């Protein structure tokens, strides 16, 4: 709850610096970095209801509406994972107020630490595939830095091999289906 209130205060503060004019000023640069913090919200049946996520996505604009890039960051599931994969954004500038965008990314997430379980010895931690889609809005602001917010869906799989008293080794696969809420800055 504290994080949500802080994000609302940050949004209100940054919105004060928004443009007074109603016309969207398109980017002059063909390169942009989308840096965002998000919460991945799951069901109450999961051990971790909310998962924090930090993503950085450098993009090259190809034409007026398309941007291609690479998504990476850190996501704190049962273990910290580093997602790496291609990212595509369709950006639709609005005549009067900022821009709406749709993005999607697929790739592989690599573990940054070994899994730790009580009463079980974990032999190897593996990452897994990920995919996400978001629908977002880029707020028009003065300068080259712009605020954005996005809602979407994220899928993540991971696994670890644990010692088992019958099979010696047992691989446990975990799949996460999450609703994603992100806030961030578009830089450059």
* Domain edges within the chain: 2-21+28-187
pLDDT at position 6: 58
Return the ∠ at Cα 175 (arms to 180 and 127), rounded to 5°: 95
Q: What percent of the chain has pLDDT over 90?
A: 47
Q: Is the pLDDT of residue 56 over 90?
A: yes
The fold for domain 2-21+28-187 equals Porin (2.40.160)
Per-residue pLDDT at 44: 54
pLDDT one-digit tens code per residue, 12-43: 555 544 544 444 445 567 899 999 999 999 86
């Amino acid at each position: 709850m504290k994080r949500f209130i802080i994000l609302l205060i940050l949004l209100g503060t940054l919105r004060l610096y928004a443009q007074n004019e109603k016309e969207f000023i398109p980017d002059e640069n063909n390169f942009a970095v989308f840096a965002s913090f998000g919460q991945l919200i799951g069901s109450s049946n999961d051990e971790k209801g909310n998962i924090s996520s930090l993503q950085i996505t450098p993009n090259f604009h190809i034409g007026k509406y398309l941007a291609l890039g690479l998504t990476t960051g850190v996501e704190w599931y049962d273990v910290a994972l580093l997602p790496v994969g291609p990212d595509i954004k369709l950006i639709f500038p609005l005549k009067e107020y900022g821009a709406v965008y749709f993005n999607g990314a697929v790739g592989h997430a690599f573990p940054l630490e070994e899994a730790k379980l009580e009463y079980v010895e974990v032999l190897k931690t593996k990452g897994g595939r990920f995919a996400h889609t978001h629908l977002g809005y880029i707020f028009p602001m003065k300068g080259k830095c712009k605020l954005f917010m996005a809602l979407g869906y994220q899928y993540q799989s991971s696994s670890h091999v644990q010692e088992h008293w019958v099979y010696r080794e047992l691989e446990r696969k975990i799949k996460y289906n999450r609703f994603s809420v992100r806030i961030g800055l578009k830089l450059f």
